[in-house]
Structure 1
Amino acid sequence: MIEVVSAARCISCDICIRVCPTDVFDRGEDGVPVVARQSDCQTCFMCEAYCPTDALYVAPLAGPAPSGSPHADEDVLAAAGSLGAYRALLGWGGGRTAGSRRDANAELADHPPLAEARLAAPAPTTDATWHSGP
């Protein structure tokens, strides 16, 4: 669930407002988005993934973080490198390696399929019992 919008990092681009599928954010008077409907958050991480300045933190919790939780403390999250951590995991942003490039299964794409592994095309059927009509 969305927990933190860092006013210090936010550049008021409104991307988070536009990508949120459940309209969780409102634009604040100072231009910084505010979490207006936290209970509507589906924890999809779209806002955090698209934030170009890592100003957002979506906690991996099904509900709001309890009072005093480190998941709602911007200073703790910044010190831990958690602001924008999901975006970093995806590899989005300058100087990051895309997450799909770290996937070991991607190495399989570098190898062409074996010829013997290909299935032969099925032979045309002449079986009178195989038909689609009455």
Structure 2
Amino acid sequence: MIELVSATRCIQCNICVSVCPTNVFDRVADAPPAIARQSNCQTCFMCELYCPVDALYVDSNADEHVVVDEKTLIASGVLGSYRRSIGWSKEKAPALAT
């Protein structure tokens, strides 16, 4: 389930809003997207996969909210780990159709 949009890393590109198949996020003017409907998250990892700055964390537990600490996630290298695990780097991520 989506647990974090990092305010320190997010560049407000709203790609996560666009790729989410269940409309979990809301756009927010001059701020990172809000996790507005967390219970709708299907844990598909699309938002985390497409985030160009590794600002999102999706926990593999799809059924319950998990409390996370952003500093710990950053220090552990977890942010962006899903993208790396499937062979996408920031340079290799496919472009979104517009």
Over 3 Å counting, the alpha-carbon distance change for 1:94 and 1:36 in structure 2 is closer
How many positions carry a matched residue from both structures? 91
- Give the TM-score normalised by structure 2: 0.85
Quick check: which one's helix share is greater? 1
Write out aligned runs for 1:35-114 (5 A). 35-62=35-62, 63-65=64-66, 69=67, 72-94=68-90
In the TM superposition, what is the alpha-carbon distance from 1:87 to its structure 2 partner? 1.0
Structure 2's unaligned 5+ residue stretches are 93-98
The structure with the larger Rg is: 1
Percent of residue pairs identical: 59
Note if contact 2:9-2:55 (Cα within 8 Å) is conserved in structure 1.
Answer: yes
Report if aligned partners of 2:25, 2:34 keep a CA contact under 8 Å in 1: yes
Larger strand proportion, structure 1 or 2?
Answer: 2
- The 3-state SS of whatever aligns with 2:57 is strand
Question: For 1:42 and 1:14, how far apart are their aligned partners in 2?
Answer: 18
CA RMSD of aligned residues (A): 1.5
The CA deviation string for residues 51-110 of structure 1, in whole angstroms up to 9 with x for no partner, is 000000000112211xxx4xx1111110100111111112222477xxxxxxxxxxxxxx
CA distance in structure 2 between the partners assigned to 1:44 and 1:95 by the alignment: 21
* 1:7 partner letter: A
Q: Which structure 1 residue ranges, 5 or more long, are not aligned?
A: 97-134
TM normalised by structure 1 equals: 0.63
